Structure 1
Amino acid sequence: MSQGIGDTDELTVWQNLRGLGGRFRRRLRRRLLEPVLLGTRSFRETVLNAVSARGHLVYCELPGGKFFVDPSDRVVGSNLMWRGEWQREEFLQAVRALEEAGLAPKGKAFIDVGANIGTHTVYALTSGAFARVVAFEPEPRNLRLLCMNAAINELSGRVTAIGKALGKAAGEAILHLHPRNQAAHAIGRRPSYDGTISVPVAMARLDDELRPLIGPQDIGLVWIDVEGLEPEVIEGLGDYLGQVPLAIEYAPYRYSEQRRRALDELLIANYRTVRRLGETLTPVESIDALRAIDGIVDIVVC
């Protein structure tokens, strides 16, 4: 009977040489090929697109949680795969802003509007900052990944996932899909020149969805990132507005002059302070500082 490699701890000289050669080839491939295949964007994206086209996902085990991602996603998925996080620092800044305002959210709910694949949903619970999550994500594939990511982190029992878009009125809308950025799907505009796919989605008001589930006194933060539909989502908060803190992807360049003016007036009438998230958490400013913000920035209003 022949003796296999695993039958003894002792290797022959020939086996040791083969092992040395194998290790050398692996190191050489990493040094020569990895910078080309992974360091060159076009090569990397071609490989990842092929993996995604075959129906495969990438599993990421990271400090903020565990995530299944679509390898073809150029923004959230790419950041999780290559940088190990997606807006985790901004999320932690928002929690700190609440704590410094005397509104520590511990034991309360996190409302995730435009939840995508659930990064912020997972951060909210793995960080210990919140007790439960209500997450809204209308795009079916993103919603499936959100539920998978809640499950892989053993959080399903604390996450209510709702497959609806939110706005100022209930009904139906058309969601235009971005072909490369799974976080950029949009209602009311095409998010890319080359995107051709759109899907009908149910739309609801946020106050109507929350009322049977949770009162404003039990909400620690509402996070709103909906690719330009923020004014309508905030209008749909109804009587929750002013009773719950908001984190908003505030993007005036996406709003018409009339929509921006209406949004600013709504926020200024119901909140007192604003802080900007990003490289650093900015000092507290009066809510009137909204009028001077251009471009796009994540903010917390209390």
Structure 2
Amino acid sequence: MEDGALADQPSLWHQVRGVTGRFRRQMRKRILEPVLVGHRSFRETVLNAVSARGHLIYCDTPHGRFFVDPADRTVGTHLVWRGVWQHAELDQAISILVQESRLQPGTLFVDAGANIGVQTVYALRSGRFGSAVSFEPEPGNRRLLEMNVAANGLANQVRVVGKALGDTEGHATLYLHPRNKGAHAVGRRPSYDGTESIEVEIVRLSTELDAYAVSEIGMIWIDVEGLEPDVVRSLGKYLGQVPLVIEYAPARYSKATRQAFDELLAAKYSTLHRLGAEASPAQSPRVLPSVEGIVDILVY
């Protein structure tokens, strides 16, 4: 027993190597990591190289499991380094609607401009929705959307639709942002240096919802990089009947489009809440002409 016990003890040489190895790791963490990870240019160079080689990053976060493109500077970056992306906004919207008895359990969540599916996953994991329909026209994002739905065990609850949404059906050019994979846009170039674009099919949201014979809709989340007025107009019979969370971005709308959009929301909805850091008590949608910047709003 004593011989065996002695044999299990590392030699002095191995003990020295163990100490120096641990010391090197600690120094890397204390000295190199703040430089390489803390400096944006260094960090992005490494992540771009990882992305260019076809690799993804897996994020196991408190609110779900997600695969992200390392080169994505917005949603992906937030999930990698902060573990969250706009969870508070969805949570606020759900809480308000539940408090106002406007959200019944087991209803449908519609994700218009789903990107990689973060809001779809958040919504279904909240336990307030029974299923989801998620629209994402860009193939790379749509692949990650499908992977993320599956990674969270939600594949049987989500219908992924590879089409863009608008008020007029047909085809259009989707301009791709080279860094922000959530900023691809129809009808305008989202970056000064982007060169890539693809053709996508445009459909009306009401037509798609009718075709799928959807159950009761609990909420429609609309984030479509400037086409929010078009998507809202495309709701048809659902407009005014279903709560909407909208990324309201007046700087992206023409003066006439904004005025018509504001008037439409004020005519069809009675209550508005700002979400996120600018969260507000209930207001009338008639305050919209005074809103500046980009803000997520809930109307019902």
Q: Shorter-chain TM-score: which interval?
A: over 0.9
CA contact (8 A) 1:95 1:105 kept: no
**Cα distance, 1:82–1:105 mapped onto 2, change above 3 Å:** farther
Shift of the 141–223 alpha-carbon distance from structure 1 to 2, 3 Å rule, reads: same
Aligned CA-pair RMSD: 1.3
Counterpart of 2:276 (choices 275, 278, 288) is 278
The equivalent of 2:136 in structure 1 is 137
1:41 aligned partner: 40
| CA-CA distance at 1:60 after TM superposition | 0.3
Aligned to 1:5: none
What amino acid is aligned across from residue 128 of structure 1 in structure 2? G
Q: Which runs of 5+ in 2 are unaligned?
A: 1-6
Runs of 4+ in 1 over 3 A off after TM superposition: none
Q: How many Å separate the matches in 2 of 1:102 and 1:127?
A: 16
Paired-residue identity, %: 58
Letter in 2 for 1:282: S
Structure-1 residue corresponding to 2:258: 260
2:29 equivalent in structure 1: 30
* 2:55 corresponds to: 56
The residue aligned with 1:18 is 17
The structure-2 alpha-carbon separation of the partners of 1:260 and 1:141, relative to structure 1 and needing over 3 Å to count, comes to same
Deviation sequence 1:162-199 (CA, Å, 0-9, x none): 00000001100100000000010001100001000000
Q: Does 1:242 align with 2:235?
A: no
CA contact (8 A) 1:274 1:290 kept: no
Structure 1 length-normalised TM = 0.95
Instruction: Indicate conservation of the 8 Å contact 1:169/1:205, yes or no.
Output: yes
Q: Is the Cα–Cα contact under 8 Å of residues 94 and 300 in structure 1 kept in the other structure?
A: yes
TM-fit CA distance, 1:129 = 2.0
Corresponding residue SS for 1:49: helix
Question: Is the contact made by 1:105 and 1:221 (CA closer than 8 Å) also made in structure 2?
Answer: no
Asked whether the 8 Å contact 1:90–1:277 carries over to 2, the reply is yes
How many residues get paired?
295
Q: Which amino acid is the alignment partner of residue 266 of structure 1? A: L
SS at match of 1:291: helix
Matches within 5 A, 1:195-206: 195-206=194-205
Q: Secondary structure, in 3 states, of the residue corresponding to 2:220?
A: strand
- Give the Cα–Cα distance (whole angstroms) in 2 for the partners of residues 250 and 153 of structure 1: 29
Letter aligned with residue 272 of structure 2: V
Question: Aligned equivalents of 1:24 and 1:11: distance in 2?
Answer: 18
Secondary structure at 2:199's aligned position in 1?
Answer: strand
Report the alpha carbon displacement of residue 295 of structure 1 after superposing the two structures with TM: 1.6
Query: How far apart in 2 are the matches of 1:181 and 1:56?
Result: 17
1:127 Cα deviation (Å)? 1.7
Question: Where does structure 1 lack aligned partners over 5 or more consecutive residues?
Answer: 1-7
* Aligned-residue offset at 1:9: 4.1
User: Do the aligned residues in 2 keep the contact of 1:73 with 1:180 (CA within 8 Å)?
Assistant: yes
Q: How does 1:1-302 map to 2 (within 5 A)?
A: 9-215=8-214, 218-279=216-277, 281-302=279-300
Deviations 1:269-295 (A, max 9, x none): 111000000115310011212222122
Q: Tell me whether 187-196 or 99-108 shows the greater mean CA deviation.
A: 99-108
SS of 1:33 mapped into structure 2: helix
Q: What is the one-letter code of the residue matched to 2:243? A: P
Q: Is the 8 A contact 1:242 1:271 kept in 2?
A: yes
